Chains A and B, each alone.
Chain A
Amino acid sequence: MSRRLQSVISTALTLILFTVLPICAANQLPSGLELLLSQAGIDLTNLTNQMAMIGVFIAVVTLVKGFVEEASPLYLLASIASSVVTLAFTLVTLGVGDLTSMGISTITIDVEGGFNTMILDFRLFIQLAVLSVALQIAHSVLQFMEARQKSKIERTPIPQIEIFDTPSQYEPVIA
């Protein structure tokens, strides 16, 4: 399978997973749950839009990566952007729509006679995601450097070697 076809398939899957599914899931939620989420301070529309936008961005970057050479700086940029945006997706998802919460989310819901506060501490997953993105970026840089070296070798002209047809041509001349 060619790289281009692979990237087109990856783009389609990314769009389905990160953009189409969250929007469909949000539309299927019962209105009672939507109201409860909004009371808890979770803006579902905003969360879905953020996820969908990130999904579109990842899909575009995946497509770009399939159509440019690995030795191209654009490929490196696309790889880094893809990793960073994947981290943003993790932050948005674990922060329940708040990109800056860094894994600690507080949800407060009014209940009869008082209120209920829930604190979710998912900092470990954020730290693992940051580590994973750092490794992905390092991998992209190494891959880019390797590809550059390969393309440099391929572009270097091979020195012309003169081949003599008959042995008499390289016989020593005796003066």
Chain B
Amino acid sequence: MAVQVTFNEAAGDGMISLDAELRNEGLLGVNLALGIYTLNGSGERIARNSTSVYLEVGGQEPISLSLQLTEGMIGRLLEGEEGCFEVVMGVRTLRDLVGVSNSMTFGGGGSA
């Protein structure tokens, strides 16, 4: 999984993009959810791009998500503030009865 933050200095905006090659090497089919979120100063999600996919045993699926960054967000990222964007990955199985979710919250300079 690769998360990339790009800035367009001329336009004053930017983009967070997430590329992942999801593979199910387990014994059961799983529902995989992946999302990227931008957070405001108080940690609330203000924008998101997310998707979910069902993967059979041995199945694989490439996923690509991107999210536009505002000027204010770029300012916070450049100042190195923590908690500017969040990458969430969830795995659920047994008809969604059991699951694990992992959320990585990063700020300026962070990478997932």
Chain A positions near chain B (C-beta within 8 angstroms): 111-125
Contact A114 B106 (CB under 8 A): yes
User: Which residues of A have CB within 8 Å of B102?
Assistant: 116-119
With contacts defined as CB atoms under 8 Å apart, how many contacts are there between chain A and chain B in the complex?
48
Contact B83 A121 (CB under 8 A): no
User: Which residues of A have CB within 8 Å of B110?
Assistant: 111-114
Chain B positions near chain A (C-beta within 8 angstroms): 82-83, 92, 94, 97-111
Nearest Cβ on chain B to A104's Cβ, whole angstroms: 10
Interface pairs A-B: 6 shortest CB-CB = A113-B110, A114-B106, A124-B97, A119-B101, A121-B99, A114-B105
Nearest Cβ on chain A to B100's Cβ, whole angstroms: 6
User: Which residues of A have CB within 8 Å of B108?
Assistant: 113
Nearest Cβ on chain A to B20's Cβ, whole angstroms: 17
User: Which residues of B have CB within 8 Å of A120?
Assistant: 100
Contact A124 B105 (CB under 8 A): no
Contact B103 A113 (CB under 8 A): no
User: Which residues of A have CB within 8 Å of B92?
Assistant: 121
Contact A115 B100 (CB under 8 A): no
Given contacts A114-B106, A117-B104, A119-B103, 8 further A-B contacts (CB under 8 A): A113-B82, A113-B110, A113-B111, A114-B107, A114-B110, A115-B104, A117-B102, A122-B98
Q: In the bound complex, what is the Cα–Cα distance between A95 and B104 (angstroms)?
A: 21
Q: In the bound complex, what is the Cα–Cα distance between A125 and B100 (angstroms)?
A: 14
Contact A111 B101 (CB under 8 A): no
